[in-house]
Amino acid sequence: MPKKLLLIDNYDSFTYNLVQYFQALGLAVTVKRNDEITLAEAVDFLPDFLVFSPGPGTVENPDDIGVGPALFNAFRGKIPILGVCLGHQMMGHIFGGKIIKIEPQHGKRWPMKVLDKSGLFKDFNDTFEGMRYHSMVVEPGSFDEALKVTAVTDDGHQHIMAFEKPDEKLFAVQFHPESIGTKEGLKILENFIKS
């Protein structure tokens, strides 16, 4: 019987790209929008993995992330969790990170520098290209807790593109591994489910 992944859809057009990738990796994927599942329903579902999708909006607006923070706190440290784009920002915000505006990076492949080759970037080269669709990032050094930054933009800005908390199996990426513009995207998601 395949393992179960609960994917919280933050109303994003890329959500079903994530579904297809995770199904290709052998998981049974259930998608629920961030305002159509309760904490109790999610707990009863007993997922093996939890993923927060990209989406429009900001973490400062509770309607944009819905039940996300409650689910994150309920499952934190119990199962592997991945946040993508808005999901990444939500997780960073929960850890005290400040979300700041940058010049919009919509539909741009960008060089990324890998800082840690465990976790999501196991067996990666030092750099890779990832697809970006965002105009906000988590400000470096603004976390309350010790999170390991694992990838940054390979440019003068060095914006945070991925972080993790390995002891709790928490992972987050600002870029889009589910985009065809991120060639190593499936490998990133495979490394997540192998965590």
pTM for the structure as a whole: 0.95
- Burial (CB < 10 A; 0-12, 13-18, 19+), residue 153, is buried
Cα–Cα distances (Å) from 70 to 34, 43, 89, 90, in that order, read: 11, 11, 15, 11
Instruction: Note the pLDDT of residue 103.
Output: 76
Instruction: Note the pLDDT of residue 132.
Output: 83
Instruction: Note the pLDDT of residue 156.
Output: 80
Mean pLDDT of 103-116: 83
| 4-193, CATH topology level | Rossmann fold (3.40.50)
Instruction: Note the pLDDT of residue 99.
Output: 92
Mean pLDDT of 42-59: 96
Cα–Cα distances (Å) from 44 to 6, 38, 48, 79, 179, in that order, read: 12, 10, 12, 14, 31
Judge whether residue 104 has pLDDT over 80.
no
Backbone angles phi, psi at 82, to 5 degrees: -125, 135
Lowest mean pLDDT among 8-12, 77-81, 105-109, 169-173: 105-109
Of all residues in the chain, what percent carry a pLDDT higher than 90?
79
Catalytic amino acids?
A: 85, 176, 178
